[in-house]
Chain A
């Protein structure tokens, strides 16, 4: 593969995706143009039906676009998936109840054929990264929802994917747990230097986490605004009370409202 001059990791050009349903075609994505650069933390925000999850699934090769072009690491999404370019975190932790936390994190490594010693070393490392050290032998039902989601993040980090795709990973958690996990995720992102694409419907979450915020609107699903965050990379939780934070949040809200006018 030819290394492009820019360090774009994900590039979409006039991407369209139409689902054929019994009620006629649904335009899940319309003319989406987007570039995500290496090391960025990009949030997709918008009301339900705006195509943010669909876009993430197209990047992950879980949905096929109807037209347009998309590359991941310079490859087609399918080739990138086969090259194990990304880890995917779903809204539900999706841990296997019959495997311990350790066993769950090890699962992708087993499937990808890592050597046993390497598996052990990686599992220990990522569990420490998500602060689940000491819970290796527990079964998922013995852990809280927040801890389960941390384990599923560890599972996505265990192999050498430099992209992390996260689909509302904290959507089912309460505010307090969510705040803490947001803070931890930022630290983790700084330490691992991954490129993260993050779907959310929480404005504070999007503004707090992202270097770039993609605002989307429904019917047809499209991008209405792309905001480059001006916040510093060091972000304590109380940055959310700063004027700069509120200004960005305001712009996101405006973007969301603009998308709703034609409803």
Chain B
């Protein structure tokens, strides 16, 4: 917890910079309004009005915070369609959309991690895969996901798969890559001496894998999972853009359709909070696992 002060300092600096940017970004509209009304506008008035616009170019931090609060706690606890009154999540709340995104992300992350580990094991144990898979994996990541996502959705939809699965496939497409790279490195982490030692015991291949290669790869796996889960979230959000069936991606896109910048920013922050939480949870699992393995510093 000793890094809390630096983190707070940076956050504070960012907030100041943000507030400072709000005034010039939104000032033109206020000046136009004042000119149209034929009124003079003082600088203090200008500053206070730029912080309270309905559709600002750049919303002020407190506007985003209020929107986040309103579209989560307030909507669910007091809203007509909220969880308190209906027992189900309101489709106007970020809790609902966050959940939609989170569940698809987790499914995609699970698929991506499974695929990544499988490919890594193949690459380490099979010479043909060692020679052939990695270039394809790299090539797959050079294609912009924004171009690929609609095609994946259309193709899957034409064979009758829709809903969460296409989004999860896109999430998996992005998240398998760091897992492959990390796990190949991790499974190859044991040095020649450790492998020789296994050979002197005539250890069967499965024992070498389970007792040497797999434990050796754990630190690499967790580093990859952290990158992978963030990538899975990005993939899911991109996958939600063309579908419009709920999720943070939908909130982002509809916000931009209707010029609801405050909504966009609050959805962005919801996504960021979600990502930070997921990465944080993996960090906790990592610490617990490595501690149990006696490898924590």
Contacts and interface: CB of A to CB of B under 8 A. Distances in A.
A198 to B, nearest CB: 16
Interface string A73-114: 000000001101011101010101111100000011011100
B295 to A, nearest CB: 5
Given A94-B194, A100-B294, A111-B207, A87 B215 contact: no
Given A90-B196, A94-B194, A111 B293 contact: no
Contacts of A141: 294
Interface string A185-219: 00000000000000000000000000000000000
Contact of B193 (A60, A87, A92): A92
B217 to A, nearest CB: 11
A103 to B, nearest CB: 9
Nearest to B199: A62
Contacts of A86: 200
Contact of B294 (A62, A88, A99, A107): A99
B197 interface: yes
A245 interface: no
A28 B147 CA distance: 58
B211 interface: yes
Given A82-B202, A108-B201, A96 B212 contact: yes
B196 A62 contact: yes
Interface in B191-221: 193-194, 196-204, 207, 211-212, 215, 218
A97 B295 contact: yes
Contacts of B200: 60, 62, 81, 86-88
For this complex, into which size category does the number of interface residues on chain B fall?
10 to 19
B201 A112 contact: yes
B215 A90 contact: no
Nearest to A82: B202
B201 A111 contact: yes
B211 A139 contact: no
Query: What's the dominant secondary structure at chain A's contact region?
Result: loop
B199 A81 contact: yes
Contacts of B293: 97-98
Nearest to A90: B193
A94 B294 contact: no
A98 B202 contact: no
A213 B204 CA distance: 35
Nearest to A142: B294
Interface in B153-204: 193-194, 196-204
Contacts of A112: 201
B192 to A, nearest CB: 10
Contact of A90 (B197, B203, B294): B197
Nearest to B218: A98
B296 to A, nearest CB: 10
A183 B212 CA distance: 33
A84 B294 contact: no
Interface in A99-137: 99-100, 107-108, 110-112
8 contacts: A61-B199, A81-B202, A84-B201, A88-B197, A90-B196, A97-B295, A99-B294, A111-B203
Interface of A: 60-62, 81-82, 84, 86-88, 90, 92, 94, 96-100, 107-108, 110-112, 139, 141, 159
Given A60-B200, A81-B200, A111-B204, 12 more contacts: A61-B199, A82-B202, A88-B196, A90-B197, A94-B193, A94-B197, A96-B194, A98-B218, A111-B201, A111-B203, A111-B211, A141-B294
